[in-house]
Structure 1
Amino acid sequence: MSIGHNHGAGQSHGHGHDHASPTANPGARRRLAIAFAITALIVIAQAVGAAVTGSLALLTDTAHALVDASGLLVALIAATMMMRPPSSKRTWGFARIEIVAALGQATLLLVVGTYTAFEGITRLFDPPEVPSTELLIFGVIGLIANIVAMAVLLGGRNSNMNMKAAFLEVLNDALGSIGVIIAAILIWTTGFQQADALAGLFIAALIAPRAFRIMRESLRVLMEFTPRDLDLDEVRARLLRLEHVTGVHDVHASTIGTGLPILTAHLVIHEECFNSGHAPDILENARRCLDDVNGAEIEHATFQLETAKTHASESATVLHE
């Protein structure tokens, strides 16, 4: 935990260090590379199947797999960039690139889901003839490949939002393949051609909620909202209860990337604390009061110590501006 302090206008003292992303993981890159290769093969196989059968469900699942493949490629690039060390120009390195990648994947999924819903409703009223045998074969191929890709990503799915989005993409694509298989069986056994369109709508229904969820979580990070599990009011109350602390303001908490919440706060203390040597103790007590707070564990917190006079001067400057 990095703690800084300021005890006079124009006079600052502190200590810090570079922050590498805790979510950068070479193992995640390997998993993503393997999953991308498998998903790319799925795209090729299902594209051939969609051309042969003319199936909307298989075409939709192909588009879904194509989005998955592009998403996994973006995730792989993001995981590679996250390994790059911080610098004086990029103090957090590329820790947040996983959030941007997840947002891009969610946007692509929404586009595919919207197209699928429109086309599926159209085909319900005018279903084309779809060969069930070929549809079943390509559906099974897609399911097997997706299960293999899921097994590869399973161990790292909770390491960061980028990996979570990648795993959920493959999981939903596997469910889409199941929809294709069910449609093929229904067409084969009953001749119900609308089953293909219904399978396509089923896949679209799988896509939309997941895309919205990933988009919402990504935007929370990019907008620098308080981490969902952190009770900032409790943090503020604890800081106010510290001995020698007379005020707390400018309390901010946000998330740089998965597993990397940060917090900053200004603590107003008595002026004599700087001369009596209490300031270091106050900083240490402030750090400790975050150790057992309910919610997200704060890995990086920065506290600025200031006198009431300094605080009044800062407030006047802000009001004047």
Structure 2
Amino acid sequence: MSGHDHSHDHGEHSHGEHDHSGHDHDHAGHSHAPKVSAGNERAVLIGLVLTGSFMIAELVGGYLSGSLALIADAGHMLTDTVALFLAWLGFRLGSRPADAKRSFGYARLEVLAGLLNAITLFALVGWIIYEAVNRLFAPQEVLAGPMFIVAMLGLLVNLGVFRILQSADNDHVNIKGASLHVLGDLLGSVGAILAAIIIWLTGWMPIDPILSVFVSLLILRSGWALLMRTFNILMEGAPEGFDSATLQNGLVEAVPGLARVSHLHVWSLSSGRTMATLDIVLADGADPAIVTAAIKTALMTDYDIGHSTIEIDWAGNGLACPAGQISP
């Protein structure tokens, strides 16, 4: 490498030295993973119990009143229930230590549960739309009174759950996602209330399947977003908004003694837990330990990458990476 001291041949870089500076694994960086706290976990668990319980009540109410809109809203509450469950699962699993077989712990169970939820939501939407089309051609009687009462109770439950989540750490990625789910479900409850009022005042039954389709589209939107998110994580994709050139250039500018970054791989282990591996080339006279420590600090504070593995390219020739690479 031009400008580097070639008196250090490969034999002088012992395996032990390479392990400490070239392959520096930062376990302290996991502090940037979603914070596990009793307050956050309790808030999510309360919201989960309230939402899940009323989801069942709304499903029963929709069946008894004959309202497809209520059943669709119960389906939307299912997305809230699963979102809250995933948030709670993230907190619960986050406190479990890694073991010999699972060196990263059990965080990926959250992602697998999300994938299963997304697939279930698509099946639910298909059934709701099928039933809605049938009811448009053959309208069924809907009991506006019970429908209105159940929808109002659903609105109150959603407001209560939203307030509970807002009292927790709303900067947490899982709590923020669950809050958005609950906020979207408020629209479903409002739609069911409007349908009940219209049926009560006019007797126009088609409004029920029409609004059920509207609510099912909300479910479809949530389900698609969840599917894409879980698929990206399982495919070792980079987090949303990640830009490789910005990260590489930013590190070179921010870290003295860093000449170049290559073979950059960034992916998510689970929600809020981002990881990276990268090769670096040192500037002349740079201290490997100081540079790698500075890179890890920059990755944690500026890019929220909590676990990083850094290999020093001593020769500076950028050997090909078998897994492919993101070029600088």
Smaller-chain TM-score range?
0.7 to 0.9
**Structure 2 gap ranges (5+):** 1-9, 324-328
Q: 2:277 aligns with which of 264, 278, 282?
A: 264
What do the CA deviations read for 1:1-42 (whole angstroms, capped 9, x no partner)?
xxxxx9847553225436464333332321222112212331
Displacement of 1:116 in angstroms is: 1.4
Larger deviation, residues 176-185 vs 148-157: 148-157
What CA RMSD, in Å, does the superposition of the two structures yield over aligned residues? Answer: 3.4
Residue 27 of structure 2 contacts residue 307 of structure 2 at CA under 8 Å; is this kept in 1? Answer: no
How far the C-alpha of 1:177 sits from its partner, in A, is 1.6
- 1:255 pairs with 2:268: yes
1:137 to 138, 149, 152: 149
Measured at CA, do residues 144 and 79 of structure 1 come closer, stay the same or move farther in structure 2, by a change above 3 Å? same
Q: Deviations over 1:231-264 (max 9, x none)?
A: 3213334556777766543211222334432322
CA distance in 2, matches of 1:238, 1:170: 37
Q: Secondary structure at the match of 1:308?
A: coil
CA shift in 2, pair 1:299/1:191, >3 Å: same
Count of paired positions: 305
The separation in 2 between residues aligned to 1:317 and 1:176, in whole angstroms, is 49
Alpha-carbon displacement from aligned partner over 1:25-82 (angstroms, at most 9, x marks no partner): 3323212221122123313432332232111112222343345445544543443122
Alpha-carbon separation, structure 1, partners of 2:126 and 2:169: 26
Find the counterpart in structure 1 of residue 19 from structure 2: 13
Contact persistence 1:106–1:214 (CA under 8 A): yes
The aligned counterpart of 1:283 is 292
Partner of 1:226: 238
CA contact (8 A) 2:173 2:272 kept: no
Aligned-partner residue type, residue 117 of structure 1: I
Q: Distance in 1 between matches of 2:206 and 2:41?
A: 41
Q: Establish whether residue 183 from structure 1 lines up as the match of residue 195 from structure 2.
A: yes
Task: Give the whole-Å Cα distance in 2 for the aligned partners of 1:69 and 1:206.
Answer: 15
SS of 1:81's partner is helix
The match for 1:124 among 136, 148, 160 is: 136
Name the amino acid aligned to 1:113. V
Is the contact between residue 153 and residue 167 of structure 1 (CA under 8 Å) also seen in structure 2? yes
TM-score for both structures, normalised by structure 1: 0.79
Asked if the contact 2:62/2:70 (under 8 Å) is kept, the reply is: yes
Question: 2:304 is matched with which residue?
Answer: 297
The 1:193–1:264 alpha-carbon spacing in structure 2 relative to 1, beyond 3 Å, is same
Do the aligned partners of residues 286 and 143 (structure 1) sit closer, same or farther apart at CA in structure 2, a change above 3 Å counting? closer
State the one-letter code of the partner of 1:299: G
Go from structure 1 to structure 2 and tell me whether the alpha carbon gap of 1:252 and 1:141 turns closer, same or farther (over 3 Å shift): same
2: CA distance, partners of 1:251 / 1:65: 40
Equivalent residue, structure 1, for 2:77? 65
Partner of 1:307: 314
**Which residue of the partner structure matches residue 41 of structure 2?**
29
Aligned to 1:3: none
In the aligned structure 2, how far is the partner of 1:268 from the partner of 1:90?
32
Check whether the contact 1:72–1:166 (CA below 8 A) recurs between aligned residues.
Answer: yes
Change (3 A) 1:159 1:26: farther
Whether the 8 Å CA contact 1:63–1:112 is kept in 2: the answer is yes
Q: Which amino acid aligns with 1:47?
A: L
CA distances 1:155-190 after superposition (whole Å, capped 9, x unpaired):
347444443443333333332121111011101111
CA contact (8 A) 2:89 2:110 kept: no
Mapped contact 1:226–1:232 kept (Cα < 8 A): no
Distance in 2 (CA, whole Å) between partners of 1:285 and 1:39 is: 45
Query: What residue is the counterpart of 2:6 in the other structure?
Result: none
8 Å contact 1:120–1:201 — kept in the other structure?
yes
| 1:267 partner letter | I
Whole-angstrom distance in 1 between the partners of 2:210 and 2:157: 23
Deviations 1:185-220 (A, max 9, x none): 101111111011112111112111122122222322
CA distance in 2, matches of 1:92, 1:167: 27
Say if 1:154 and 1:290 are closer, same or farther in 2 by CA, change over 3 A: closer
Distance 2:40 2:112 in 1: 17
Give the residue type in structure 1 aligned to 2:310: F
Structure 1 equivalent of residue 167 of structure 2:
155
Residue in structure 1 matched with residue 96 of structure 2 by the alignment = 84
| 1:286–1:55 distance in 2 versus 1, CA, 3 Å | closer
Residues 1:127 and 1:9: Cα distance change in structure 2 (over 3 Å): farther
AA matched with 1:307: W
**Do the aligned partners of residues 264 and 140 (structure 1) sit closer, same or farther apart at CA in structure 2, a change above 3 Å counting?**
same
